[in-house]
Amino acid sequence: MLDFNKRLTIEDQINAIIDESLVDKNRRKAPRPYLGGSRLGHACERALQFEFAQAPKDQGAGFNGKTLRIFAIGHALEDLAIRWLRQAGFDLRTRKEKSPDSDQYGFSVADGHIRGHVDGIILAAPAAVNLPVPVLWECKTMNARNWRACVKDGVTVSKPVYAAQMALYQAYMEPQIPGISSHPALFTAINKDTAELHHELVPFDADLAQRMSDRGVRILRATRAGELLPRIAASPDFHQCRFCAYAGRCWELNR
């Protein structure tokens, strides 16, 4: 809550109210009762297990207003990318029907405990672009440093979580969109600082998709059995542990 006894500028007052409303809205969102396909590439299986089990996050570990604003800007930029590609002549579908009220493309397996929603499916491309279709389309926004790393090293090396997501989506979307796993996925990265666009074809990695699917099953089975999966590290000062919303809970356990 705002402390009105403290002298705040108009900027402080407005921003504080905006952020407070964003945090409150996010706090009231119902947790997902499933493992998201976009998360299965996360490095730590125990963190994913806590997430799936809806374990409370550490005190103060929730998203703050600034982070939620960054997420919202990313979603808005992805909407712009869809508009730009369609305007350029790509038949890019984000829903099963053209109606905005129709279902988003996605999949649900393991009795609904593993699900994913794709950014889009490209069914046709301009003649000037050598793009075999149908193609899975995934779009991410990044700051300039991460965007440059993605351009330099490719998404598979620089952002393996995204590569795992695309492989899993191609595998599970094949029954709905025959041929989607036969063609490389198209990955689009937007530089949030400069508006530069990076487009990259990512061949389907069947082995990676199988590993991610097996990982999902392993997390589900361990959680149902009350078993804790191994930590990613041997010490809580490991860099990924220091940024984990479940680090306190995890390292307080003697296993």
**Whole-number Å distance between alpha carbons of 94 and 85:** 12
Q: List the single range of 26-40, 89-103, 151-165, 178-192 with lowest mean pLDDT.
A: 89-103
Q: What's the pTM value of the predicted model, to 2 decimals?
A: 0.89
Q: Which domains does the chain have, with CATH numbers?
A: 61-218 (3.90.320.10)
127 contact partners, CB below 8 Å, separation of at least 6? none
**Whole-number Å distance between alpha carbons of 60 and 132:** 47
pLDDT at 2 over 90: no
pLDDT at 6: 65
157-204 residue pLDDT tens:
999 999 999 999 999 999 999 999 999 999 999 999 999 999 999 999
pLDDT at 233 over 70: yes
Contact 120, 105 (CB under 8 A): yes
Number of H helices, E strands in the chain: 9, 8
Q: Is 177 helix (H, G, I), strand (E, B) or coil?
A: coil
pLDDT at 5 over 80: no
Mean pLDDT of the chain: 92
The tokens for 162 are 């995204």
Confidence of residue 60 (pLDDT cuts 50, 70, 90): confident
